[in-house]
């Protein structure tokens, strides 16, 4: 059509003018459509920031964490689809060769490959649907980060992002203050405990409020505000500081102290900021920063005295247990000397390595049988889940982000939003290094990281370039196919997560069902939506209860047939759980328990099935003394005395104060004619249980004709059976 422009006639000139005008109108329409989509994307982002901390469904069947996770997944998917549609319309996208961007793309790729080689692909790729360590969650968060950096293309939008976050905090604060007032029991179906909150764990509420404290502190010290906004910020500062004191998390006070020290030093070293049009104001002395520094110093040194007074006043008690850094590194050492060194055991697979390599000293504590699903912190656990490669990429990403942010934040006093975004981002990432945030804090971490990247782009610190694909038909075709595929993949991902969410709802309804029929109906629906090992184990338990409550009015033959049918369902459901996740030891323990119960009823071959299942469980969890004891006790009851001795001796080695294991070991010794060895075990049991007269009588009876008989001697020191 361009050849017509060469013919210089008045008619053709008129035609050319009309064509150009039409193209201009089309281009203008496309730009307006993209602008509307961009504004709507910004609105969705603000909705995410506002509703994420406060959103929950006040019904018992809706999982608290899953409800928040589904909000993040669906909004991110919608934002991504809008972004792809905009790219299809304008035919261009922004790219960068900055290490932050390259590393941000590389980390999810490593998570993907680690998942594929983990041996439990489903658990690593998606898990239950709300864990922060799966590939799907990490991929979603990085996509969200990139989308935020694209949506926040002006400083004004970043300002509104922070304003929305502060408003959301006030809703959280009002909710929590009301929870502290005696006699107010609204939303009691969630929990009447004053530590229950909208963010997640009690410590996470403290970290959330700590972020508000840091942000408020920066604004108070550096930004020139109107009187109304200043009052608003001061209220946020003191309320958030109150909740920081109420949670009394030592590491939080340490981080607050470091930030307030840096702020004080920065202000004092510059003596006085010059007021300028960009919003910074002059300061003579950092009064508020010094106040926070003194408070932090006081609460850290007096954690058990000063720090404990406020929680005690409101009757706040909260205990949170996680592996120490030393324990996590011990597990990492075992993982890195195995075949999982490069890519790790797989996302969401920390537990499998913990069971294999946990420190043996833990077996003599109250946490001998606690299954930790993540280590000391999110980042330190990555060394185990995604290996050396994934861990190095995380360190490189954070290093590049901190370096670029620090260099830019303190380079000029003109961009207070850049410095504020850097402080917020740095604060949140620190707690990914020293703590295990749930999906609320992790989502906020990536949102503020995206805001920081957006400001770095706007200030020219992070260089980008636009790539256009409309001018090249072949390139345009390929990119269009890829973008359409991404839309479809996003929809499939959102659908999968939604199915898992609804499956969780049906499962919880089943747990709260008023009858076995109702429970079975709901759990079957859950299985139809998303096959899960736990759902099959639940179904097996339901059938076990049905076995114990047979229908009335049946003939003997019908009762026998019903018994056999239910028995088959019990075993099949338990076996299905092991098929779904064969690397989860608890599935094999459950199957072993089923077979053991069948053995007590005289079912042929049940003992062999139980022993085989327990052995597989022990292979996956070889440092669990109570699990080894289960196997040893079963061998003893099955008259396999030599096997029982060998197994029970392992349990005693793993946990020296395990009374039940020593008791059964003594019985096995006695039945093998090793009376003195049996006496040693029984005497040790007596020392561990000085008030147990039966043990003392048993020791006296050794050598007489009467044989000792099994009598559990469970104590507080022993492990809890799984």
How far apart CA 120 and CA 116 sit, in angstroms, is 8
Out of 36-40, 186-190, 201-205, 318-322, pick the least confident: 186-190
Q: What is the DSSP string of 562-598?
A: HHHHHHHHHHHHHHHHHHH-TT-HHHHHHHHHHHHHH
Is the pLDDT at 184 greater than 70, yes or no? no
pLDDT bin (cut points 50, 70, 90) of residue 720 is very low
Residue 583 to residues 29, 332, 346, 427: CA-CA distances in angstroms?
55, 19, 12, 37
pLDDT digits (tens, 9 = 90+) for 609-631: 999 999 999 999 999 999 999 99
Contact 621, 615 (CB under 8 A): no
Contact 106, 113 (CB under 8 A): no
The gap from C-alpha 96 to its chain's centroid, in whole angstroms, comes to 30
Q: What is the CA radius of gyration of the chain?
A: 31
Contact 570, 621 (CB under 8 A): no
How far apart CA 625 and CA 369 sit, in angstroms, is 8
Out of 22-31, 197-206, 372-381, pick the least confident: 22-31
Helix (H) / strand (E) element for 513: namely none
pLDDT bin (cut points 50, 70, 90) of residue 17 is very low
How far apart CA 79 and CA 83 sit, in angstroms, is 6
pLDDT bin (cut points 50, 70, 90) of residue 7 is very low
**Nearest C-alpha neighbor of 263 from the set 420, 412, 401, 418:** 420
Rounded to an integer, the average pLDDT of 522-528 is: 92
- Please give the angle made by the CA atoms of 317, 321 and 322, to the nearest 5 degrees: 150
pLDDT digits (tens, 9 = 90+) for 480-516: 888 888 889 888 888 888 888 888 889 888 888 778 8
Per-residue model confidence (pLDDT) at position 185? 60
Contact 353, 384 (CB under 8 A): yes
Is the pLDDT at 272 greater than 80, yes or no? no
Contacts of 78 (CB under 8 A, 6+ apart): 44
How far apart CA 259 and CA 430 sit, in angstroms, is 11
How far apart CA 507 and CA 525 sit, in angstroms, is 8
How far apart CA 560 and CA 564 sit, in angstroms, is 6
The count of other CB atoms within 10 Å of the CB of residue 467 is 12
How far apart CA 450 and CA 462 sit, in angstroms, is 12
The count of other CB atoms within 10 Å of the CB of residue 342 is 15
pLDDT bin (cut points 50, 70, 90) of residue 684 is very high
Rounded to an integer, the average pLDDT of 314-335 is: 91
**pLDDT averaged over the chain?**
85
SS3 105: helix
Residues listed for the chain: 722
Contact 507, 538 (CB under 8 A): yes
Domains and CATH numbers, the chain: 497-701 (1.25.40.10)
Residue 505 to residues 191, 509, 522, 534, 704: CA-CA distances in angstroms?
18, 6, 9, 14, 60
Rounded to an integer, the average pLDDT of 278-283 is: 51
**Nearest C-alpha neighbor of 666 from the set 656, 658, 654, 674:** 674
The count of other CB atoms within 10 Å of the CB of residue 644 is 25
């Amino acid at each position: 059509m361009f050849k017509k422009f060469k013919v210089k006639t008045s008619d053709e000139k008129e035609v050319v003018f009309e064509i150009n005008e039409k193209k201009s109108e089309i281009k203008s329409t496309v730009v307006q459509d993209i602008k509307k989509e961009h504004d709507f994307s910004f609105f969705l982002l603000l909705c995410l920031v506002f509703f994420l901390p406060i959103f929950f469904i006040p019904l018992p069947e809706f999982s608290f964490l899953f409800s928040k996770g589904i909000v993040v997944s669906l909004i991110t998917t919608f934002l991504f689809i809008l972004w792809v549609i905009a790219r299809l319309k304008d035919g261009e996208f922004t790219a960068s060769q900055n290490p932050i961007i390259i590393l941000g793309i590389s980390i999810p790729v490593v998570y993907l490959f680690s998942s594929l080689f983990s041996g439990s692909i489903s658990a690593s790729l998606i898990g239950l649907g709300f864990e922060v360590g799966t590939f799907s969650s990490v991929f979603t968060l990085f996509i969200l980060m990139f989308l935020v950096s694209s949506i926040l293309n002006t400083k004004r939008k970043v300002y509104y992002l922070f304003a929305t976050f502060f408003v959301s905090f006030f809703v959280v604060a009002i909710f929590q203050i009301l929870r502290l007032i005696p006699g107010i029991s609204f939303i009691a179906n969630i929990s009447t405990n004053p530590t229950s909150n909208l963010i997640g764990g009690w410590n996470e509420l403290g970290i959330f409020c700590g972020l508000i404290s840091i942000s408020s502190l920066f604004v108070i010290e550096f930004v020139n505000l109107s009187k109304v906004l200043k009052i608003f910020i001061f209220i946020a500062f003191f309320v958030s500081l109150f909740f920081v004191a109420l949670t009394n998390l030592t590491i939080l006070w340490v981080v607050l102290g470091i930030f307030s020290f840096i702020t004080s030093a920065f202000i004092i070293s510059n003596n006085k900021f010059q007021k300028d049009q960009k919003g910074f104001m002059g300061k003579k002395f950092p009064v508020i920063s010094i106040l926070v520094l003194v408070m932090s110093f006081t609460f850290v040194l007096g954690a058990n005295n000063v720090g404990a007074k406020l929680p005690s006043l409101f009757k706040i008690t909260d205990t949170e247990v996680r592996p120490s850094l030393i324990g996590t590194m011990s597990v990492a050492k075992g993982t890195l000397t195995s075949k999982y060194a490069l890519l790790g055991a797989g996302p969401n697979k920390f537990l499998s390595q913990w069971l294999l390599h946990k420190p043996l000293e833990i077996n003599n504590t109250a946490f001998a049988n606690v299954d930790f699903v993540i280590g000391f912190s999110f980042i330190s656990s990555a060394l185990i889940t995604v290996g050396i490669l994934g861990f190095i990429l995380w360190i490189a990403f954070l290093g590049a982000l901190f370096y670029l942010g620090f260099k830019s934040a303190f380079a000029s006093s003109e961009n207070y939003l850049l410095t504020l975004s850097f402080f917020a981002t740095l604060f949140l990432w620190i707690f990914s290094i020293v703590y295990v945030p749930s999906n609320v804090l992790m989502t906020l971490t990536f949102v503020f990281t995206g805001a920081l990247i957006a400001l770095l782009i706007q200030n020219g610190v992070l260089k980008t370039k636009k790539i256009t694909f409309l001018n090249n038909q072949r390139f345009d075709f390929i990119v269009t196919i890829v973008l359409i595929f991404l839309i479809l993949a996003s929809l499939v991902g959102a659908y999968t997560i939604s199915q898992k969410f609804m499956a969780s709802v049906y499962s919880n309804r089943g747990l709260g069902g008023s009858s076995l029929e109702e429970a079975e109906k709901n759990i079957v629906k859950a299985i139809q939506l998303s096959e899960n090992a736990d759902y099959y184990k639940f179904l097996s338990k339901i059938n076990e209860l049905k076995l114990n409550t047979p229908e009335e009015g049946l003939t003997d033959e019908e009762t026998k047939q019903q018994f056999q049918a239910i028995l088959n369902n019990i075993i099949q459901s338990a076996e299905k759980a092991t098929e779904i996740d064969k690397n989860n030891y608890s599935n094999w323990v459950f199957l072993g328990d089923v077979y053991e119960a069948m053995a007590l009823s005289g079912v042929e071959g049940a003992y062999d099935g139980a022993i085989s299942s327990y052995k597989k469980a022990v292979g996956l969890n070889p440092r669990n003394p109570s699990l080894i004891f289960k196997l040893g006790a079963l061998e003893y009851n099955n008259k396999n005395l030599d096997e029982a001795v060998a197994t029970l001796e392992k349990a005693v080695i793993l946990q020296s104060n395990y009374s039940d294991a020593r008791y059964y070991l003594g019985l096995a010794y006695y039945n093998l004619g090793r009376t003195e060895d049996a006496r040693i075990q029984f005497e040790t049991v007596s020392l561990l249980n000085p008030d147990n007269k039966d043990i003392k009588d048993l020791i006296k009876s050794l050598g007489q004709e009467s044989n000792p008989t099994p009598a559990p001697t469970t104590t507080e020191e022993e492990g809890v059976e799984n």
